[in-house]
Copies of this chain bind each other. A is one copy, B any other.
Amino acid sequence: MIELPFARAEYQQRLGKIRAVMARRGIELLIVNDVANQHYITGYDGWSFYTPQVVLVPIEEVEPVWIGRAMDAAGGLLTAWMKPENVVGFPEDHVQRADRHPMDWIAAWIVAKGWGNRHIGIELEAYYFSPKAHARLVAGLPNAKWHDADLLVNWIRAVKSSPEIAYLRKASRLAQAAVARAYEVIAPGVRECDAIAAIQAAQIAGSPDFAGDITALPPTILGGENASAPHIMWSDRRFGKDETIALELAGVCRRYAAGLARTMQLGKTPARVADTAKAVIEGMDAVLDTVCPGTTAEAVEAAWRKVIERHGLKKESRIGYSIGVAYPPDWGEHTISLRPGDKTVLQPGNVVHSILGMWMDGWGIEISETILVTETGNETLTKFPRDIHVKS
């Protein structure tokens, strides 16, 4: 058995919140396709989502049901908190075949359970839930009344409990260690892949007290011209003598991700980099002066925008998003975004990764913080000097 990350009471609390929303919306059965949401509800953890996998939450107060590939049900018994009969495997002969689909089997299971004519809420924008899987599920449940349940669980996740915040503090320590390691190993002539190897080792080995987990976003190290684009992967390119390098690194503990972006400079800092960094750091101060309960997400962005406009800069993309339990390919929760038009009122327990990425023409810098909204204001969980780290 893998130790559960949370006490059972925590899972019951989560289910209570989910069922309250289901009841309000008239949903009698929730089909959860988002892998992070599945883990949030059940504790199930495995790299099995490349075949279809669902979690079913009935409105009545019984345990949820995990259904996935038969060979992965064994992993369900080792990681999920429910009783064994609530961990269900579909047969191996349904894996990646043209003539049948796991969702045929899952739909039949739901019908056999007597849930086939329910009001069913479903997440239609989950990463590993395909249009074909959806079509087969709908075909197999002709008497269901369908409800859009996208982000239902995600919005509940946006408010973190104390045990979740404890993991995010540990994750933040790992993110700091990853950036510190990057500062150590990156130097002119070093290959990107060698730097990434050292950084990933720091992310995964974790601390003497706890392991690091796989990061939902792989480490990004954007040196030179690559820093004009945010999501380029590493290669065997060697860092140059004079290069500005944007680092966007995670720390992850029991699937909880903290993000931390920093920028380092090899050789002499160009004036444009120094000037932009000054503006961005001042912008982060404005963000941190603004984040508190009762403020809107868009007000935080407006505070940033006011600063950088004064410096003659602009940024098209949002400057942050809710972060927490995460599986690849994203650590964002798809709820709160710090951008114009997002009128979400921040509340204690929200955690946002505010990432001030300036991807310019042929260069770029990034500075970020993982920020907890507290009762009275905020706390940056990531604690690390914000200045450009110069290595000359």
A213 within 8 A of B: yes
A52 to chain B, nearest CB (A): 10
The answer to whether A334 and B229 touch across the interface, beta carbons within 8 angstroms, is no
Q: In the assembly, what is the distance between CA of A139 and CA of B46, in Å?
A: 35
The answer to whether A78 and B232 touch across the interface, beta carbons within 8 angstroms, is yes
The answer to whether B131 and A128 touch across the interface, beta carbons within 8 angstroms, is no
Q: Which of A15-23, A200-208, A305-313 contacts B (4 or more CB under 8 A)?
A: A200-208
The answer to whether A92 and B317 touch across the interface, beta carbons within 8 angstroms, is yes
Chain B residues within an 8 Å CB radius of A318: 92, 95
The answer to whether B71 and A230 touch across the interface, beta carbons within 8 angstroms, is yes
The answer to whether A135 and B127 touch across the interface, beta carbons within 8 angstroms, is no
Chain B residues within an 8 Å CB radius of A337: 95-96
Indicate which residue in B47, B71, B95, B150 contacts A233 across the interface (CB closer than 8 Å).
B47
A46 and B232 contact, Cβ closer than 8 Å, known pairs A191-B211, A197-B200, A211-B193: yes
Q: Mark A279-307, 1 if CB is under 8 A from B, else 0.
A: 00000000000000000000000000000
The answer to whether B124 and A132 touch across the interface, beta carbons within 8 angstroms, is yes
A32 to chain B, nearest CB (A): 14
Q: In the assembly, what is the distance between CA of A48 and CA of B341, in Å?
A: 23
The answer to whether B234 and A211 touch across the interface, beta carbons within 8 angstroms, is yes
The answer to whether B135 and A130 touch across the interface, beta carbons within 8 angstroms, is no
Indicate which residue in B132, B218, B231 contacts A150 across the interface (CB closer than 8 Å).
B132
- Give the residue name and chain of the B residue nearest to A51 (CB): B330
- Give the residue name and chain of the B residue nearest to A133 (CB): B125
Q: Mark A210-243, 1 if CB is under 8 A from B, else 0.
A: 1111100110100001101111111111000000
The answer to whether A329 and B128 touch across the interface, beta carbons within 8 angstroms, is yes
Tell which of A91, A125, A192, A203 has the most Cβ of chain B within 10 Å.
A125
Chain B residues within an 8 Å CB radius of A2: 226, 232, 235, 237
19 A-B residue pairings within 8 Å (CB atoms): A48-B230, A71-B231, A71-B359, A72-B229, A74-B230, A77-B229, A78-B225, A92-B316, A92-B317, A127-B127, A129-B131, A130-B131, A131-B135, A191-B211, A193-B205, A197-B200, A211-B235, A214-B218, A328-B328
User: Interface on A for B, CB 8 Å cutoff?
Assistant: 1-3, 45-50, 70-72, 74-75, 77-79, 91-93, 95-96, 124-135, 150, 191-194, 196-198, 200-206, 210-214, 217-218, 220, 225-226, 228-237, 316-318, 321, 328-330, 332, 334, 337, 339, 341, 359
